[in-house]
């Protein structure tokens, strides 16, 4: 007998999804109809390796990558073996009562149980341990949906599935190395071990799973709340596994180690910090475009957190008519020091800067990378991931030139090496100052050019909800000149004009720069695994001396008048050179500001720097016209 865990009030769930999530319902039915017709695609919300290439179902596909799949990518097999397509058929039946969905579920499940087995010959295909950790939740949810819909699966099939869950337990208990203890695989696998053990009444399996999850979450959750692998998508996968464990344990009255709840709550807070107002992630590293609203909502419900989130389709299945608390706090600017991520926010604007942990194989070469989002759309963006196969596309998308970084002297010190490694990994730093005078700033340094006597530094400054200033510096010998090149990649929905205006839906961004040259070109962007689209990019170039700087201003909604102005010391009258400071005048209809950035200390008598109406001293100063004093950000 398989124990019930999830469904509480199917009628409320169905009614709520129909009323509040009509698009999700349409997607469920469309995908189920596709499966009924014999076509396999991987479309699940949290599918790590989506694939929309249609493949005809047959008993042979469980262990053999179909010829239709590009590069014979084995990820296609792994996605199939997670059985999200089967859970979707169960959902479609719950909505419609259409026996075709139930019949297709039975046909595919019987095929899987007949053709495959928990033996070594299948451990690299249909019974890889990661998928063995994912299937139990999908199976238990499916069984409950059919039963709650008044059409339980045949006893003979349920008996085979229960026997197979014991096989899942055996394999998962036996597959636990240092890799699992530190990798997302461990949390995902041991969530599956917990669900399988709870479903079949194996208390030992439940105990082992919780003990492992306690250690894994302790190793993997950084103090800032991010998952250490530095992929927001894998953060979602880990958090889903952890939070589903908490939900199931509470439902079943199973005591959990305190650390499991604490780390799950910490990861939930980290996710809220990282997401945009509508719940979407900023897809950096090995990530796809994804909406995390359901995880945010469930965390708010389970931990009484003041998160602003809509109730998503997944929440209705778990909670029925139950609701999270009504309190909600909007996302604020925050610095995740442990991971090296800063989120600078005001109104609908989010500027994100990363310069910290690489995150092992799922990280990309992106030191000092900056994203700019308006609302829930990342307009200036990371290029994505596309594939895990060892191909030119994989290396291209992991390399620096597919990110919003700057390069010196025509090369970048790090390169991707195959799918999961790198030619070298260099140190990076990030610091931040949030809220000083109403402004936010992050400053990062990259040490990959040390052998050439150079250090890169980027300062990202949010002046208002309409202005982001990025200042790039080449710290080195002032007598030497260097080639500077910066890359800015746009979302495919964004269009760049020759005047460097960017339009994306109802949003517009106007770019001004002190760079000497600028070019508009094309690059390839991957919104999800297995999909590549053409998008626009902006490339800026200059010759700069050591300690020199290039400034780029992103103005939202209207073009800003941006010009460089002189800066000098008041008492001595000495004007600062371009290798000492850069001063900008920024004027819009809603205000005028002076920004002063210095690359290094000035050896002189105590003196105040003046640039336009700004008078002060510091590494990074901002003053709005009409304010008495500047704000010293850094």
In a domain, 599, yes or no: no
Q: Please indicate whether residue 13 or residue 605 has the higher confidence score (pLDDT).
A: 13
In a domain, 581, yes or no: no
Question: What total of structural domains would you count in the chain?
Answer: 3
CATH of the domain at 524: 2.70.98.70
Would you place residue 357 in the very low, low, confident or very high pLDDT band (cuts 50, 70, 90)?
Answer: confident
Q: Where are the alpha helices (DSSP H) in 336-453?
A: 392-398
In a domain, 329, yes or no: no
pLDDT digits (tens, 9 = 90+) for 19-44: 999 999 999 999 999 999 999 999 99
Q: Kindly state whether residues 171 and 183 are assigned to the same domain.
A: no
Q: At what angle do helices 232-252 and 184-200 cross, to 10 degrees?
A: 20
pLDDT tens-digit readout, 160-204: 999 999 999 999 999 999 999 999 999 999 999 999 999 999 999
**Structure confidence by residue, pLDDT tens digits, 111-158:** 999 999 999 999 999 999 999 999 999 999 999 999 999 999 999 999
Nearest residue to 157 (alpha-carbon basis) of 143, 167, 144, 172: 143
Residues 415 and 286 in one domain: no
**Cβ(195)–Cβ(323) below 8 Å:** no
CB–CB of 520/530 below 8 Å?
no
Helix then strand then coil, in percent of the chain rounded to 5, is 35, 25, 35
Are 283 and 348 in a shared domain?
Answer: no
184 and 167 within one domain? no
In the numeric block, the tokens 């033996």 are attached to 119
pTM of the predicted model over 0.95: yes
d(CA 148, CA 478): 74
The boundaries of the domain holding residue 153 are 8-175
Mean pLDDT of 587-597: 98
**HSE-CB of 557 using CA atoms within 13 angstroms:** 10
User: Phi and psi at residue 483, in whole multiples of 5°?
Assistant: -85, 125
Residues 206 and 217 in one domain: yes
Please indicate, yes or no, if residue 627 is contained in any of the structural domains. no
Average pLDDT, the chain: 97
* Tens-digit pLDDT profile for residues 395-426: 999 999 999 999 999 999 999 999 999 988 99
Q: What is the pLDDT of residues 268-281, one digit of tens each?
A: 999 999 999 999 99
pLDDT at position 516: 97
**Per-residue pLDDT for 527 more than 80?**
yes
d(CA 387, CA 214): 32
pLDDT value at 482 more than 90: yes
Phi, psi dihedral angles at 281 (to 5 degrees): -85, 160
Render pLDDT for 325-344 as a digit per residue (tens, 0 to 9): 888 999 999 999 999 999 99
Question: Are 394 and 531 found together in one domain?
Answer: yes
Classify residue 596: in a domain, yes or no: no
For residues 56 and 140, membership in a common domain is answered with: yes
Q: Is the pLDDT of residue 605 over 80?
A: no
512 contacts: CB under 8 Å, gap ≥ 6: 500, 552, 553, 555, 559, 560, 562
pLDDT for residue 343: 98
185 and 138 both lie in a single domain: no
| Boundary of a domain, candidates 528, 543, 559 | 559
Residue 129 CA to residue 192 CA, distance in Å, equals: 10
Residues 60 and 74 in one domain: yes
Q: State both tokens at 129.
A: 């341990």
Q: What percentage of the chain carries pLDDT values higher than 70? A: 100
Tell me what pLDDT residue 370 has. 98
Sign of the torsion formed by the C-alpha atoms of 132, 138, 142 and 148: positive
Same domain (yes/no): 406, 490? yes
Residue 604, pLDDT above cutoff 80: no
For residue 241, the domain's CATH number is 1.50.10.100
Same domain, 105 and 208: no
Element (H, E) at 475: strand 467-475
The pLDDT of residue 1 is 87
């Amino acid at each position: 007998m398989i124990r019930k865990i999830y469904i509480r009030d199917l009628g409320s769930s169905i009614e709520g999804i129909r009323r509040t999530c009509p698009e999700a319902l349409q997607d469920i039915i469309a995908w189920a109809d596709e499966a009924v017709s014999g076509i396999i695609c991987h479309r699940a919300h949290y599918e790590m390796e989506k694939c929309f290439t249609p493949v005809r179902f047959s008993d042979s596909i469980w262990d053999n990558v179909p010829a239709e799949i590009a590069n014979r990518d084995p990820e296609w097999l792994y996605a199939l073996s997670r059985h999200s397509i089967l859970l979707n058929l169960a959902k479609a039946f719950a909505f419609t009562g259409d026996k075709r969905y139930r019949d297709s579920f039975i046909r595919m499940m019987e095929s899987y149980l007949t053709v495959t087995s928990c033996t070594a010959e299948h451990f690299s295909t249909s019974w890889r341990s990661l998928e063995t950790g994912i299937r139990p939740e999908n199976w238990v949810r499916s069984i409950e949906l059919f039963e709650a819909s008044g059409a339980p699966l045949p006893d003979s099939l349920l008996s085979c599935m229960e026997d197979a869950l014991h096989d899942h337990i055996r394999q998962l208990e036996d597959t636990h190395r240092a890799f699992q203890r530190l990798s997302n695989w461990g949390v995902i696998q041991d969530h599956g071990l917990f669900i399988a053990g709870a479903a079949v009444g194996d208390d030992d399996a439940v105990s082992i799973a919780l003990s492992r999850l306690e250690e894994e979450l302790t190793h993997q959750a950084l103090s800032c709340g991010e998952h250490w692998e530095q992929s927001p998508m894998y953060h979602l996968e880990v958090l889903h596994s952890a939070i589903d464990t908490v939900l199931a344990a509470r439902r079943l009255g199973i005591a959990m180690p305190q650390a499991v709840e604490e780390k799950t709550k910490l990861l939930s807070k980290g996710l809220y910090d990282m997401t945009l107002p509508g719940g979407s992630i900023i897809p950096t590293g090995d990530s796809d475009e994804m909406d995390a609203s359901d995880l945010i909502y469930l965390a708010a419900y389970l931990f009484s957190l003041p998160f602003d989130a809509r109730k998503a389709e997944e929440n209705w299945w778990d909670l029925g008519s139950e609701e999270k608390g009504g309190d909600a706090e909007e996302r604020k600017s925050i610095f995740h020091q442990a991971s090296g991520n800063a989120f600078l926010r005001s109104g609908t604007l989010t500027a994100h800067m990363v310069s910290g942990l690489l995150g092992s194989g799922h990280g990309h070469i992106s030191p000092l990378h900056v994203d700019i989002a308006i609302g829930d759309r990342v307009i200036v963006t990371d290029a994505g991931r596309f594939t895990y196969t060892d191909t030119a596309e994989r290396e291209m998308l992991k390399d620096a030139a597919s990110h919003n970084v700057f390069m010196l002297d025509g090369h970048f010190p790090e390169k991707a090496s195959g799918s999961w490694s790198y030619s070298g990994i260099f140190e990076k730093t990030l610091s931040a100052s949030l809220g000083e005078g109403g402004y936010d700033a992050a400053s990062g340094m990259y040490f990959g050019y040390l052998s050439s006597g150079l250090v890169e530094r980027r300062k990202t400054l949010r002046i208002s909800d309409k202005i982001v200033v990025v200042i790039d510096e080449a710290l080195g010998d002032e007598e030497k000149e260097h080639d500077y090149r910066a890359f800015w990649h746009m979302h495919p929905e964004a269009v760049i004009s020759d005047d460097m205006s960017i339009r994306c839906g109802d949003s517009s961004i106007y770019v001004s720069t002190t760079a000497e040259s600028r070019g508009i070109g094309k690059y390839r962007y991957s919104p999800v695994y297995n999909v590549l689209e053409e998008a626009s990019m902006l490339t800026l170039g200059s010759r700069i001396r050591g300690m020199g700087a290039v400034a780029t201003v992103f103005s939202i909604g209207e073009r800003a008048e941006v010009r460089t102005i002189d800066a000098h010391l008041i008492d001595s009258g000495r004007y600062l050179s371009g290798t000492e400071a850069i001063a900008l005048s920024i004027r819009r209809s809603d205000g005028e500001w002076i920004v002063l950035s210095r690359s290094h200390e000035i050896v002189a008598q105590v003196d105040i720097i003046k640039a336009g109406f700004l008078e002060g001293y510091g590494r990074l100063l901002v003053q709005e016209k009409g304010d008495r004093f500047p704000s010293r950000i850094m």
